[in-house]
Amino acid sequence: MSELKKIGFVGTGIMGSAMVGHLLDAGFEVSVYNRTKSKAQPLIERGARWCESAGDCAKGQDVVITIVGYPKDVEQVYLAEGGIVDSAQSGAYLVDMTTSSPVVAEKIYAAAKAKNLHAVDAPVTGGDTGAKNATLTILVGGDEADFNALKPVFEVLGKNIVHEGGAGAGQKTKACNQIAIAGALAGACEAFAYAKASGLDIEKVYAAISTGAAGSVQMTGVARRGLDGDFKPGFMLKHLGKDLAIGNETATAYGQALPVLALVLHEIRKMENAGLGSEGTQALLKYYGVID
């Protein structure tokens, strides 16, 4: 096992709870904090130590990992008075695995460096299945030495682990991933919308195109769930909306227009306004009228 033995983990939702389970199984000493304690209870019963705040969860740890909701939540748990940067011991590694803003990642990196802390941004892809199976792709931004030190921890959680560059590079790469997903998911939904409108059998169309050049993870892994009537979230529609909003805002700052992203983001916002934001991203099929 890594020389980094003690881990504080903040955020035990769908993704985080599975990730903490793998760390416990690998023999790490894990302390946890979540805004809703009941979500952490199964982990506490498995041996994780409960903490009363994110700051408390950071105290005395070799590594602090976070996977929370939105960039404002990331900024709060790290930079608020008594938060992670204030509370972590000198030399600790701070790892934000939330999909967040590269601007926030750069701000945390600078604040951490001023206190002799090692901060990296390490958002993940692979969804709930990747978290459960420890097959996540981990996109890391920060100093290469810190990436190398943390790699034994990352290897417990994922398979494809890439150092993308300096602070914020992990978040920028995750934005690329979500931008690609937006087009692929919307394209699959539109294909089945066309099939339905033209009188084709959707299942026959799926069987014909899903294994060819039109096939994608979004078609076979995500849209398939919706076609089967399963809208439980592996990844919530509102969270994809959050990710695409980050991509849209930063693309504007970088002087890059992303019209497909903007269109899919508009569609998701309409779905959220209709009260469907907590369904899985496969619910976009409903926007296109494929599923009632």
* Distance from C-alpha of 136 to C-alpha of 160, rounded to nearest angstrom: 7
Contact between 225 and 265 under an 8 Å Cβ cutoff? The reply is no
Nearest Cα residue to 288 out of 273, 272, 271, 274:
271
- How far apart, in whole angstroms, are the C-alpha atoms of residue 286 and residue 231? 10
Phi, psi of 26 (to 5 degrees): -80, -5
**Cα–Cα distances in Å, from 77 out to 64, 84, 117, 273?**
11, 6, 15, 28
Hey, which bits of 144-203 come out as E strands? 158-165
Which candidate, 127, 98, 123, places its Cα nearest to that of 221?
A: 127
Nearest 5 degrees, angle CA 113-CA 49-CA 142?
A: 25
The answer to whether 150 touches 170, Cβ cutoff 8 Å, is: no
**What letter represents residue 126's amino acid?**
G
Please say if 242 is a catalytic residue: no
Residue 147 tokens read as: 């990436």
Q: Which residue from 42, 39, 21 is spatially nearest to 30, judged by alpha carbons?
A: 21
Q: Which of 107, 132, 172, 174 is catalytic?
A: 174
Q: What single DSSP character describes residue 279?
A: S
List phi, psi (to 5°) of 226. -65, -40
Catalytic positions, written as ranges: 174
